[in-house]
Amino acid sequence: MSERPVGVFDSGLGGASVLREALRLLPNENYIYYGDSGNAPYGDKSDDDITTLTMACIGKLMAMNVKAILIACNTATAASVSKVRQLMNQYSMPIISIEPAIKPACALPGTGKVFMMATLATTRLNRYLALQARMPDPSRVINIPCPGIVERVESGIFDEDAYDDLFDKYFAPYMGTAVDAIVLGCTHYPFIKGAFARNAKRYLRGNCTLIDGSVGTVRQLGRILDRYKLRNPIGTGRVEFHTSGNEAVLKPIFEKLLKQDI
């Protein structure tokens, strides 16, 4: 049973940033990745639509005989993970999900702001807003929706200056603000850390430390596999790729993302 793969789901290719950490920290596990690029981005969809799409993708992974599912999509988590877990309890299927890493960001020393940058859906959903409310100083966190990034990453665009026009919109209202940390609240964002750093320097003051939740999520995956005695001692880190989009176009981008130094 331990040799069965872990299913990894994202709204598109962004979950490759989490899978990359999984391959590094849990190298004996085998993985099946499912990216719903045919329906991406999720960030401009309703909660019900996101939940419906998430459940359909989980169903596809279950049909592939996975032993656990990692929801590597902040938007899917924020919109639907509670409902997903309720429905999945009947199958005794471990489900691990990612959420924006504002807790470690808020734990950093300093008096500057914490920018939480994510899709519009993530920043408006109750699960995320409840997480923000639990921070020591919720007002320190500024939520910035970032429409446009997901589509460009899905297109294979990674040049640092290829996102300047978008960051002009995101950061212009905060010119000169002291920022201690920038939370990459979408799994697509780690692939353009250079663009975040470049534009933070153009507009902001302070350390602007970039933080994402991939490592913490993968460590939790490892703990869950141990708890359920599902850890694979002999696997080879095999990755199988599936998508609802154009596989001929997307698979080469996916493979490039797995190899990218992020």
Q: Model confidence over 72-100: pLDDT tens digits?
A: 999 999 888 777 878 777 778 899 999 99
Whether 261 shows a pLDDT value over 70: the answer reads no
Per-residue model confidence (pLDDT) at position 3: 87
Query: In the sheet where 113-118 sits, what is the strand order?
Result: 141-145, 113-118, 179-184, 209-211
Residue 176 has pLDDT above 80, yes or no: yes
pLDDT at 153 over 80: yes
pTM of the model: 0.93
Phi, psi at 70, each rounded to 5°: -110, 115
Band the pLDDT of 125: cuts 50, 70, 90.
confident
- The structure tokens listed for 102 are 């504002």
Strand order in the sheet with 239-243: 95-97, 68-71, 6-10, 31-35, 239-243
pLDDT of residue 260: 77
Mean pLDDT of 201-225: 97
Under a CB-based contact definition with an 8 Å cutoff, are residues 66 and 92 in contact?
no
Q: Cα(212)–Cα(99) distance, rounded to whole angstroms?
A: 9
Provide, rounded to the nearest whole percent, the portion of the chain with pLDDT above 70.
Answer: 99
Q: What is the pLDDT of residue 1?
A: 63
Q: Which of 57, 73, 106, 146 is catalytic?
A: 73
Catalytic residue, candidates 106, 146, 186, 208: 186
The pLDDT assigned to 6 comes to 98
Of 210, 118, 119, 195, residue with least CA distance to 157: 195
CA–centroid distance for 230 within its chain: 23
Average of per-residue pLDDT across 227-245: 94
pLDDT band at 172 (very low <50, low <70, confident <90, very high): very high
Does the annotation count 186 as an active-site position? Answer: yes
Q: Residue 262: pLDDT above 70?
A: no
